[in-house]
């Protein structure tokens, strides 16, 4: 392994810090016909769509996604902005060849927005929830087809973002050729959804650049609404200015002095390199060559290994630090590789004591449109999302918190709850132990019933 020079180390550290301080992560959600992939493609490349999916083709990777037009996986796309908040195009004006890749954008741009393309079909809602849960999202773009009334999935996405405390931006797409009465009806319905008891937000139409400054520091209560068209380019300049001006919500640089913690979101076997894990540096910093511990394995143990390479935005670096989305190459033998999976963590020190499989969380059970009457009781099983961890867990105990609830409550001392309850739930992982900490956000969805909250205790 080649040892980086001192100058290379300094440059890599500056690059990693730049990505920590200047990167905004934005989830892009919406119904299947909202045009999420097309909007991302247009924003990233600078090319307008031709109405037949040209912009979408620059972001879609899987064959079945290209054929069906439906996104089923999570993918991130980097958009760079210069000092004047102008987007840096990545394709030539005729769209025939690519000018810049992610590494070029990362080195040239002043500010960055990482657009996370999430699935819109209800069939893939758990994948969308996982993206919002694990992606350390700063903001959410909720796309709505201006030609149709907001669907049930649009409501679900808005409610999910609000429940997770993530500010929302509504983007009305396909406004070219949209009848005025249909556009007005869609805007009115969006305003009604935002003003509901669950969301308590106010819609604000972005019509000119001065409107952007008005909403930037009020997005906890105000939801900007931008009308766009990927075919004509209408509203794209306003959307770019808004995205480039968004204040950073997560201060990862304040966690640099804490011990190194890397959340493993995916694993790959790369020919000639070996096992590579991708994920997010949650706390601390590390350098190539450092000894680390990966786990927990099925028995709760951790594997000792070494970082042999690291990449940020497809750029080879020697330093990674809190706030970086990175890929790490690990030095593992054949047997150790079989133990590595999604949902693990990489730590600079081996954890002391046993990894528990039980935890407690304070949660609010939310009611949504299409509520199917599902109740939660002891031994209820559901799929929980805790940052990068997703696993089936069983309810061991339930306690009602306080007397005030929202909506219909069922509780007769037998530990049965439903939508509207504020509860303290004790869970137990059903498959294997996971590394979780107090304060991590947890959420789950089962049918149209969902709940979110924070972990208050780990272990019995």
Residue 340: CB atoms within 10 A of its CB come to: 20
**Tens digits of residue pLDDT in 405-418:** 433 444 444 456 66
Q: Copy the structure tokens of residue 207.
A: 């019509």
Give the confidence band of 123 by pLDDT, cuts at 50, 70, 90.
Answer: confident
pLDDT surpassing 70 at residue 381? yes
- Work out the pLDDT band at 68, boundaries 50, 70, 90: low
The answer on pLDDT for 60 being more than 90 is no
Asked if the model's pLDDT at residue 4 lies above 80, the reply is no
- Residue 111 to residue 363: CA distance in whole angstroms: 36
Per mean pLDDT, which range of 205-219, 380-394, 415-429 is the poorest?
415-429
CA distances from residue 416 to 76, 407, 413, 422, 442 in whole angstroms, order as listed: 40, 15, 8, 12, 20
Of 341, 435, 443, nearest in space to 132 by CA: 443
- Longest CA span, the chain: 68
Convert the pLDDT of each residue in 75-109 to its tens digit.
Answer: 788 899 998 889 998 887 766 777 788 888 888 88
pLDDT band at 368 (very low <50, low <70, confident <90, very high): low
pLDDT on residue 184: 94
Q: Is the pLDDT of residue 116 over 70?
A: yes
Domains of the chain (ranges; CATH) run 31-245 (3.40.50.300), 253-347 (2.40.30.10), 358-458 (2.40.30.10)
Task: Assess whether pLDDT exceeds 60 at residue 373.
Answer: no
Return the minimum-mean-pLDDT range out of 106-110, 200-204, 241-245, 453-457. 106-110
The pLDDT of residue 448? 61
Least confident span in 46-55, 177-186, 202-211:
46-55
What is the predicted pLDDT for the residue at 407?
Answer: 39
The mean pLDDT of the chain is 84
Give the predicted TM-score (pTM) of the model.
Answer: 0.85
pLDDT digits (tens, 9 = 90+) for 156-168: 889 888 888 899 9
Q: At what angle do helices 152-163 and 125-134 cross, to 10 degrees?
A: 20
pLDDT in tens, 327-349: 999 999 989 999 999 999 999 99
Q: Which of 47-56, 81-90, 282-291 has the highest mean pLDDT?
A: 282-291
Question: Residue 263 pLDDT > 90, yes or no?
Answer: yes
Asked whether the CA dihedral 323, 326, 330, 334 is positive or negative, the reply is: positive
């Amino acid at each position: 392994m080649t040892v980086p020079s001192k100058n290379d180390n300094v440059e890599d550290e500056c690059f990693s810090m730049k990505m920590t301080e200047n990167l905004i992560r934005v989830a892009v959600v919406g119904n299947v016909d909202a045009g999420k992939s097309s909007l991302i493609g247009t924003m990233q490349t600078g090319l307008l769509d031709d109405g037949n999916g040209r912009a979408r083709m620059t972001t879609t990777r899987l064959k079945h996604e290209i054929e069906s037009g439906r996104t089923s996986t999570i993918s991130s796309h980097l958009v760079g902005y210069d000092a004047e908040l102008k987007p840096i195009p990545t394709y030539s004006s005729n769209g025939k060849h690519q000018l810049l890749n992610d590494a070029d954008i990362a080195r040239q741009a002043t500010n960055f927005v990482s657009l996370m393309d999430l699935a819109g079909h209800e069939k893939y809602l758990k994948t969308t929830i996982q993206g919002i849960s694990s992606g350390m999202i700063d903001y959410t773009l909720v796309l709505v087809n201006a030609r149709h009334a907001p669907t049930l999935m649009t409501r679900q996405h808005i409610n999910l973002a609000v429940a997770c405390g993530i500010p929302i931006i509504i983007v009305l797409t396909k406004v070219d050729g949209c009848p005025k009465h249909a556009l007005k009806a869609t805007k009115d319905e969006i305003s009604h959804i935002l003003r509901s008891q669950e969301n308590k937000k106010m819609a604000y139409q972005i019509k000119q650049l001065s409107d952007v400054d008005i909403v930037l520091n009020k997005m906890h209560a105000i939801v900007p609404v931008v009308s766009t068209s990927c075919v004509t380019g209408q509203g794209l300049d306003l959307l770019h200015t808004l995205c480039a001006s968004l204040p950073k919500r997560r201060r990862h640089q304040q966690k640099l002095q804490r011990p190194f913690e890397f959340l493993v979101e995916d694993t790959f076997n790369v020919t000639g390199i070996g096992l590579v894990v991708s994920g997010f540096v949650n706390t601390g910093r590390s350098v190539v060559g450092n000894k680390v511990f990966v786990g927990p394995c099925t028995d709760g143990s951790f594997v000792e290994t070494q970082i042999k390479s690291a990449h940020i935005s497809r750029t080879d670096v020697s330093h990674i630090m809190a706030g970086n989305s990175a890929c790490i190459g690990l030095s593992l033998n054949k047997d150790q590789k079989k133990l590595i999976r999604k949902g693990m963590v990489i730590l600079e020190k081996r954890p002391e004591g046993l990894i528990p499989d039980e935890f407690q969380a304070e949660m609010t059970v939310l009611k949504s449109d299409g509520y199917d009457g599902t109740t939660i009781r002891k031994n209820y099983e559901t799929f929980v999302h805790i940052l990068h961890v997703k696993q089936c867990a069983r309810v061991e105990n339930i306690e009602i918190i306080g007397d005030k609830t929202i909506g219909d409550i069922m509780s007769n001392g037998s530990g049965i709850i439903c939508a509207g309850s504020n509860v303290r739930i004790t869970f137990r992982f059903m498959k294997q132990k996971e590394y979780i900490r107090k304060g991590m956000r947890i959420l789950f969805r089962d049918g149209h019933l969902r709940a979110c909250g924070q972990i208050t205790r780990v272990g019995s």
